[in-house]
């Protein structure tokens, strides 16, 4: 009887184990199925793509004038302050002009004395003419000697010469007076151009010495137009071309962009710690006064761009190897080769006021994209492929996997254009709103729990690893 009871008990235990295992399998089946890899879907949307070369720059006034002193003396009055807006011809400062005033008075007195002598010289000339005429009549009547005649002619010539000499001295004195009066005018400093006072170098009471070098008192700058001096690395100088579109942002401007056109690249670089940097110049409008001198700018040279086009993530693209790349005509002026940094698709630019693109700017024309057409970003690892030689942005074929509304998949051949590291322009083959597979979302696989009763600690097994709970192996 005891044997039958023990047998029934063992049978119940076995049945319990089977039921528990079956129930656990049912409970974990859905979780295991959900843990499988899932496709990453992306929707075809309208957006913008651009490839840029980033650099840093400094904002400076496009035109400024250093106002200095042309005469020596003490800076007596300074009539403006930093930040004041001045007009052309406005009085800015005054220098102690007592020395210049004294020179002007001395020159005027000298001229007055010479003009008084001029009256006497003219009278002497008239007397010389009268004596010469008398001696000529007497000589004709043979009533005078040759000596008296010659003396009269010599006195006439001397009187004429003396008068002319005095007249030239008066002219010289008048020129000296003009110079002295000009020096006196220089004691009052006027604004040579209209603009804003951006700096003051000297203060009132300072003694100025303009004998060897004109000391700078203040600087006036025209802040309505600013020039950005961008530092271009040696690696990017072959891609950056005069006339290409460029924009920049500042630290305090948020998402606002200022657009311009590269005006000039200075041929002489600056070398700092063996780093060669070239300077690129472009101008931007600052009519709203949002830009200030010496601001730091984050500059982006646009090598290629496409606005308001259908975009697809580059992770959704694969490039066929058996389909020849279609040769497309390169836009006029498009350079070959080059390297660029990508920008996020659909990134909206602030085009208000001075932040708008320059007139006539056509994105993507005459520009240049990445030679590799962008690298894959999804887990499927689809890499980029270069377009036709000479134009990395020419339309080229690519393959995508389209997921339809019913869940079925279709591998479709499309044409892509401008490509960044994130997105590609869809030239043909897709419609807005369609979904494509952009990668694979890998499932998180939970770590397998160690068998019960086994502890791996301090280099060995410890605890009841065997039936009966005896001490296991410890410290190998």
Q: What is the pLDDT of residues 356-394, one digit of tens each?
A: 454 444 443 333 333 333 333 333 333 344 444 446 678
Query: Which is higher by pLDDT, 146 or 28?
Result: 146
The predicted structure's pLDDT at residue 83: 86
Give 392-413 pLDDT, tens digit per residue: 678 889 999 999 888 888 899 9
Q: Is the pLDDT assigned to residue 440 strictly greater than 90?
A: no
Tokens in use for 329? 């005509």
Q: What b-and-e string marks burial along 59-96, b requiring 16 or more CB atoms within 10 Å of the CB?
A: bbbbebeebbbebbbebeebebeeebebeeeeebbbbb
Give per-residue pLDDT as tens, 36-76: 678 888 999 999 888 899 999 999 998 989 898 888 888 88
Residue found by looking up tokens 């002497």 in the block: 124
Contact 215, 75 (CB under 8 A): no
Nearest to 395 by CA among 458, 325, 341, 449: 325
- For residue 6, give both structure tokens: 């023990």
- Enter the pTM of the model: 0.58
Instruction: Give me the chain's average pLDDT, please.
Output: 76
Which of 105-109, 288-292, 453-457 comes out lowest in average pLDDT?
Answer: 453-457
Confidence band, pLDDT 50/70/90 cuts, at residue 12: low
Residue 459: HSE in the Cβ half-sphere, 13 Å Cα cutoff: 2
């Amino acid at each position: 009887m005891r044997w039958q009871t023990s047998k029934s008990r063992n049978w119940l235990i076995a049945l319990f184990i089977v039921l528990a295992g079956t129930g656990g399998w049912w409970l974990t089946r859905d979780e295991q199925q959900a843990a499988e890899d899932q496709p990453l879907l992306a929707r075809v949307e309208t957006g913008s793509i651009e490839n840029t070369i980033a650099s840093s720059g400094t904002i400076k006034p496009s035109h400024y004038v250093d106002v200095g002193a042309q005469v020596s003396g003490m800076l007596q009055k300074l009539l403006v302050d930093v930040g004041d807006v001045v007009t052309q011809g406005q009085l800015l400062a005054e220098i102690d002009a007592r020395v210049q005033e004294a020179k002007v008075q001395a020159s005027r007195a000298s001229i007055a004395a010479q003009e008084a002598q001029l009256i006497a010289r003219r009278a002497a000339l008239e007397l010389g003419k009268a004596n010469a005429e008398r001696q000529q009549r007497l000589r004709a009547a043979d009533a005078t000697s040759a000596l008296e005649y010659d003396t009269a002619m010599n006195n006439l010539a001397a009187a004429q010469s003396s008068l002319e000499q005095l007249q030239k001295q008066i002219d010289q004195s008048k020129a000296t007076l003009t110079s002295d009066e000009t020096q006196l005018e220089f004691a009052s400093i006027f604004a040579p151009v209209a603009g804003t006072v951006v700096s003051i170098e000297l203060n009132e009471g300072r003694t100025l010495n303009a004998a060897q070098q004109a000391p700078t008192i203040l600087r006036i700058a025209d802040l309505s137009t600013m020039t950005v001096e961008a530092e271009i690395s040696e690696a990017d100088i072959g891609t950056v071309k005069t006339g290409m579109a460029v924009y920049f942002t500042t630290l305090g401007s948020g998402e606002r962009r200022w657009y311009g056109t590269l005006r000039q690249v200075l041929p002489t670089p600056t070398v700092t710690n063996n780093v060669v940097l070239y300077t690129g110049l472009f101008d931007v409008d600052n009519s709203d006064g949002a830009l200030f001198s010496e601001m730091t700018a984050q500059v982006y040279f646009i090598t290629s761009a496409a606005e308001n086009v259908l975009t697809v993530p580059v992770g959704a693209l694969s490039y066929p190897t058996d389909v020849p790349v279609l040769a497309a005509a390169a836009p006029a002026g498009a350079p070959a080769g080059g390297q660029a940094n990508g920008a996020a698709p659909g990134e909206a630019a602030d085009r208000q006021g001075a932040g708008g693109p320059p007139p006539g700017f056509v994105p993507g024309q005459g520009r240049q994209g990445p030679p590799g057409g962008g690298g894959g970003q999804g887990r499927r690892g689809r890499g980029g492929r270069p377009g036709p030689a000479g134009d990395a942005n020419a339309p080229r074929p690519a393959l995508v996997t389209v997921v339809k509304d019913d869940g079925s998949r279709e591998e479709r051949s499309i044409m892509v254009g401008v490509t960044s590291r994130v997105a590609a322009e869809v030239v043909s083959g897709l419609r807005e709103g369609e979904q494509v597979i952009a990668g694979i979302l890998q499932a998180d696989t939970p770590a397998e729990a160690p068998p019960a009763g086994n502890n791996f600690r301090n280099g060995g097994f410890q605890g009841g690893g065997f039936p009966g709970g005896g001490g296991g192996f410890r410290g190998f």
